[in-house]
Amino acid sequence: MAGTGGGAYSVNLYDCTVSGNTATNDAGGVYGGSQFNTTIYFNSAPNNSNWDGSQFYYCCTTPGATGVMTTNAPLFVNQVVGDYHLQSNSPCINAGYNAYVSVTNDYDGNPRIQGGTVDLGAYEFQNPSSVLSYAWAQQYGLPTDGTADYANYDGDGFSNWQKSKTGVNPFDSTTDLQMLSTSDSVSGATVTWQSVSGIIYYLQRSSDLTAQPAFSTIQSDIVGQTSTTSFTDTTATNGGPYFYRVGVQ
């Protein structure tokens, strides 16, 4: 128990579960810091039971914020007795970001990544039946038994697995990742694309589409915002030409 930050105070957490903690004032779970692939749930405090002043990157907690992939309960096996393993239908399964994984094994010593994508929290569910992000699949009412993994419901040619990586609506192709506009100024070229909050993007540029390779990355680790995200290429200050493309890391 602490006055502020019952579980962690002004630290960065990777692949952690913060649950069952108490603060006497503020932030029963975590206060401050940046949290990666982490679940912060079922903590208590008079103010902000789970967190306050933190930044999130592929996390499960409530209330939501940029980088929170799900605010739904993580469905621990039994949080009352401190069993924070995930049930087979937990939204935390396959909902993380592999580049943030800091260890090769989970808290039990089991392989940290199963099903192709890391889970949120300290424990990796070892036999997922789907490669989809369970948080994403459950958001859109899709089964997590594997039958929907490579289906393409809206006919745009992209599978549900691809759509889960970009976080878009599997039933609406107009939500797909796409460039929207570019604008020029003395500061450079500003590129805007359709985006999903918390998804991590990279931006590439080419000045010659016949070159091999044609594109090179000019910025990575761009945290997506709700609806649209923009980036200004401050090196694009002459006549060009410049060609851009965006992707999900």
Q: Which is more confident, 7 or 186?
A: 7
pLDDT value, residue 239: 79
Task: In whole angstroms, give the CA distance from residue 104 to residue 52.
Answer: 29
pLDDT value, residue 107: 97
Per DSSP (E only), the strands in 68-151 are 68-70, 76-78, 83-86
* Confidence grade of residue 63 (pLDDT, cut at 50, 70, 90): very high
pLDDT value, residue 195: 97
pLDDT value, residue 238: 85
pTM: 0.93
Does the pLDDT value for residue 1 go beyond 80? no
CA distances from 194 to 13, 81, 97 (A): 29, 43, 20
pLDDT value, residue 240: 85
Over range 66-89, report the average pLDDT.
97
> What token pair was written down for 103?
């260890």
Upper half-sphere CA count for residue 68 (Cβ side, 13 Å): 19
Task: In whole angstroms, give the CA distance from residue 163 to residue 90.
Answer: 19
**Listed residue (157, 169, 231) closest to 201, CA to CA:** 231
* Confidence grade of residue 102 (pLDDT, cut at 50, 70, 90): confident
Task: In whole angstroms, give the CA distance from residue 67 to residue 24.
Answer: 27
pLDDT value, residue 37: 98
pLDDT value, residue 2: 86
pLDDT in tens, 22-45: 999 999 999 999 999 999 999 999
* Confidence grade of residue 170 (pLDDT, cut at 50, 70, 90): very high
% of the chain residues with pLDDT over 90: 96
Does the pLDDT value for residue 248 go beyond 90? yes
Over range 132-150, report the average pLDDT.
98
pLDDT in tens, 115-124: 999 999 999 9
Does the pLDDT value for residue 200 go beyond 90? yes
pLDDT value, residue 237: 87
